[in-house]
Amino acid sequence: MDFSSIHTMFSTNARRFHDEIILWHRPQTGARYAELTWGQLEEMVVCFASALLDMGFAPGDRLAILACNRLEWLVADLGTLMAGGADVPIDPTNTPSQCEYILNNSQARFIVVEDSDQLTRLTPCLPNIASLEKIILVEGSAPSEEAPVVTWDAVMQTGVDKQSALSEARQQRMQQCDPLNLATIVYTSETSGPPKGCMVSHQNILFLLASIDALHNIASQTNLSLLALPLAHFYPRVFGYYYNLYKNIPLALAESHDTLTKDLRDTAPTFFCCAPAMLEKVYADICEAAEKGSWLKRSLFGWAVGIGRNHAKRVNVQIFEPLLNRLLYRIADRLVFAKIRKRLGGRLAFAFSVGAPLAAGPGEFIRGLGVKVVVFYGRTETLGGTMTTRNATRSGTVGKAMPGFEVALAQNGEILIKGNNFMGYLNNPEQTEAVLREGWCYTGDKGRWQYDNLVLSEYRNDPVVIPGNQKNYRII
């Protein structure tokens, strides 16, 4: 599929699949999932883009998004790109000072803020952010007429009123977008010092989408994914959202980390994007439920887990499994694992995992359930890297180079990647030159080769906090 930009990809597929379901979301906390078609989503995106144009949003302008995963996040993202701008996702767990730095560094003119609580946290910083002109508040009301705050509903109503009059201007913005234009600025999670803004082009993202598809080629409509990682980070945005738009695969937005098991059951996805801690959360929930059963049920569960782990180990290293072992696994699957999979929606076949290595216990348990774990390694700066596949994976490794990428090890073991490197750090040419050398991106991580697969031996564990989760773990 040949697209010149993210918004042309979206608009083209919205026309092709106008009446098909593309998104599941909970309209309010705890509500039942609601479905949204391509056509309905496109109508909202067009309204938001039209409202931005009406408010003076210029080509190349930046709009920041300070919110958890929700429908309005997607609309603001796609609408900004349609209006010819670039967006700046901000992790909702960032401190006010971190938000202030990102907004100043990116020179964002607009920001979408989730609710009054986030606005209250941000308000003391506003006098220090000279570029910021307009705050779009998703939930709540504007504190005063003097404040530069407008509600989401008011913005969308402006879009409804103006979309016809601004149709030609909107089309011109879309046509003028070059594949090399800036699409987003993704800020790294640093343990020391200010975050660095990774500039990513439309071409960067489209290249990665094509690479993922060449490796996995997930069928459209017969699959459904659950997005549980924050869209403020690059990996879930591409693997768990843009790829769905690229291939017409419906996606559901998980409500929170704490409701992950319930969200899996309610949406019945065939795959989901996660971090290892999320798989560990599923594992812990299942073990906790098993412990509440009778002695017989606990014993049966323990026996089945042992059978499943033995099966997973043999599959992992591709050792022949004796007939008796296969028979025992089928029995364990029928008596235990099939029921557990039903609790997870009944259709879960695989998971995309990124970040710290998945611990052996939970990993073998998940694979023993019959759910394959696809592991990805990369940095925001490399926009891709290595990945296992559903049919070729070894526990403890992060796979081989993805199509279109090259991976090498320096003499000291540092991992080098090239093929689709980012545009550089915003306002930081010295740091850019330090990581991009002769076409290679120096990741700062170290690794070694094992059976032609990359094994991470040392990596920078930038902390990322998922709301409701007490663990910190790295995602890009």
pLDDT score, position 278: 82
Res 433 pLDDT > 80: yes
CATH code of residue 417:
2.30.38.10
Does the pLDDT at position 83 exceed 90? yes
Residue 44 has pLDDT above 50, yes or no: yes
229-252 average pLDDT score: 95
- DSSP assignment of 429-460 equals HHHHHHHEETTEEEEEEEEEEETTEEEEEE--
The mean of the pLDDT values for the chain is 90
pLDDT digits (tens, 9 = 90+) for 326-347: 899 999 999 999 999 998 899 9
Q: What are phi and psi of 306, to 5 degrees?
A: -65, -45
Segment among 304-318, 321-335, 426-440 with least mean pLDDT: 304-318
Q: Is residue 381 part of a domain?
A: yes
Worst-scoring range by mean pLDDT, 47-61, 234-248, 274-288, 376-390?
A: 274-288
Top-confidence residue, 253 or 144: 253
Q: Does residue 463 register a pLDDT over 50? A: no
Residue 281 in any domain: the answer is yes
Mean pLDDT of 21-39: 94
**Containing structural domain, residue 338:** 276-473
Distance (Å) of CA 109 to CA 13, 106, 137, 239 = 30, 9, 14, 28
Region 194-198: mean pLDDT is 93
Which amino acid, one-letter code, is at 304? A
401 located within any domain = yes
Sheet (strand 34-37) strand order: 34-37, 21-25, 251-253, 225-227, 271-274, 350-354, 372-379, 384-387, 400-401
| pLDDT value, residue 466 | 46
Whether the pLDDT of residue 359 is over 80: the answer is no
Does 80 score more than 80 pLDDT? yes
Residue with tokens 């309905």: 40
Residue 142 located in a structural domain: no
pLDDT of 467 reads: 47
> Residue type for 424, please?
G
- What is the per-residue pLDDT for 468? 46
User: Which of 42-51, 121-130, 281-290, 345-354 tops mean pLDDT?
Assistant: 42-51
Q: What is the mean pLDDT of residues 87-113?
A: 96
| pLDDT range class, residue 66, cuts 50, 70, 90 | very high
> In the structure, how many helices (H) and strands (E) does the chain have?
17, 24
Asked if the structure places residue 200 within a domain, the reply is no
The candidate with the shortest Cα–Cα distance to 267, out of 280, 284, 255, is 255
Residue at 233 is within a domain? no
pLDDT, position 356 = 64
User: What pLDDT score does 418 carry?
Assistant: 96
32 assigned to some structural domain? no
Q: Which residues of 236-250 are buried (b: 16+ CB within 10 A; e: fewer)?
A: bbbbbbbbbbbbbbb
| DSSP label at residue 335 | I
For residues 365 and 53, which has the higher predicted lDDT (pLDDT)?
53
pLDDT 10s digits, 372-397: 888 899 999 999 999 988 877 777 78
Residue 416 or residue 276, greater confidence: 416
**Predicted local distance difference test score (pLDDT) of residue 461:** 53
Q: Which residues contact 197 (CB under 8 A, 6 or more apart)?
A: 88, 102, 105, 106, 185, 186, 187, 425, 426, 427, 428
What is the band of 464 on the pLDDT scale with cuts at 50, 70, 90? very low
Total of domains in the chain: 1
pLDDT at 460 (0 to 100): 64
For the cut 60, the answer to whether the pLDDT of residue 473 exceeds it is: no
| % of the chain exceeding 90 in pLDDT | 69
> Is residue 223 in a domain?
no
What's residue 35's pLDDT? 96
Strand stretches in 202-326, DSSP E: 225-227, 251-253, 271-274
Query: How far apart (Å, rounded) are the C-alpha atoms in residues 167 and 468?
Result: 42
Query: Predicted confidence band at 457 (pLDDT cuts at 50, 70, 90)?
Result: confident
469: pLDDT strictly greater than 50: no
So what's the pLDDT on residue 184?
Answer: 98
Question: Is residue 287 pLDDT above 50, yes or no?
Answer: yes
pLDDT over 60 at 445, yes or no? yes
Position 263 scores a pLDDT of 92
